[in-house]
Amino acid sequence: MGLPIDDEIITLIDRALEEDLAGGVDVTTVATIDEKSEGFANFIVKAEGVIAGLDVAEAVMKRCGVTTFTRKVEEGSTVKAGTIVATAQGSLRAILLAERTSLNLISRMSGIATLAKRWVDAVSGTGVKIRDTRKTTPGLRTLEKFAVRTGGGINHRSSLSESALLKDNHIAAAGSIAEAFRSIRTKFPSIAVEVEVDTLDQLEEALEAGAKVILLDNMDLVMTKKAVEINAGRAKLESSGGITLENARAYAETGVDFLAIGALTHSAPILDISLEVLSPLSINDSERSKGSQ
């Protein structure tokens, strides 16, 4: 399981590096470290969690000119505090230039993967899937949705053009669920459509309109159970709103198919990861050391 490093991600990395440099240079590193100095650095996890973003961390290092990036664990591994998950070797200036951007991204992605796994574990055995939302950090959606998958969750739509989700504002503007659903089917006949409902009456209307995926918005457990009975397997049901890690299993056991959890991306704390430099050597010292062997 890996994340292809495409032009979109390279552009994101370049913007992050430029944000750090602001058109100048890393004045601290340039002033204190000789341009010929080489070194090793370890990525060390400070708390237990799921690792996501090794591909991105490597891409940052390579973008800055670091010659070697070695993974010590696989993407998606659950690791303990103190685990070295990767090492970097090469120009010490390049390693330190890449340090903050690589850590920002891998820590953010690993935090999301770690939280996603907690939710997946909470509903284990029920058959319910944990699904994310578009409540992502602007510009980081591809990375954050990959992190959700790495933690065992699944992705909802990534863009407004990918599928249709009829929410309360669309329904109000169109006049009814039936009319809004009909309009989408007329203009975009092949697009997948999900309908958000707040009441059991709306659920009935969505089913009559032909909806195959229905989002139960902010329904409590009693209403959710009733919605599952009314649905009787005709559509896939997704619960959203008011769901916590503590009550997730209870919602899952009602018989819905998905739990939509915006917190996977908008509220995930980072996984604390540090970069520690070891044994910096100048190129000349390294060559002399090889010659004496």
Catalytic residues: 100, 135, 167, 196, 217
What is the sign of the dihedral through the CA atoms of 178, 184, 190 and 194? negative
- C-beta of residue 73 within 8 angstroms of C-beta of residue 83: yes
What is the distance, to the nearest Å, from the Cα of residue 111 to the centroid of all Cα atoms in its chain? 8
Query: Around Cβ 154, how many Cβ atoms within 10 Å?
Result: 14
Whole-Å CA distances, 150 to 54, 145, 175: 11, 9, 40
Six token digits for residue 67:
């010659």
Contacts of 203 (CB under 8 A, 6+ apart): 197, 214, 216, 227, 230, 231
Contacts of 37 (CB under 8 A, 6+ apart): 91, 92, 93, 280, 281, 282, 283
- C-beta of residue 65 within 8 angstroms of C-beta of residue 94: yes
Please state, in angstroms and rounded to a whole number, the distance separating the CA atoms of residues 217 and 237.
10
Please state, in angstroms and rounded to a whole number, the distance separating the CA atoms of residues 160 and 164.
7
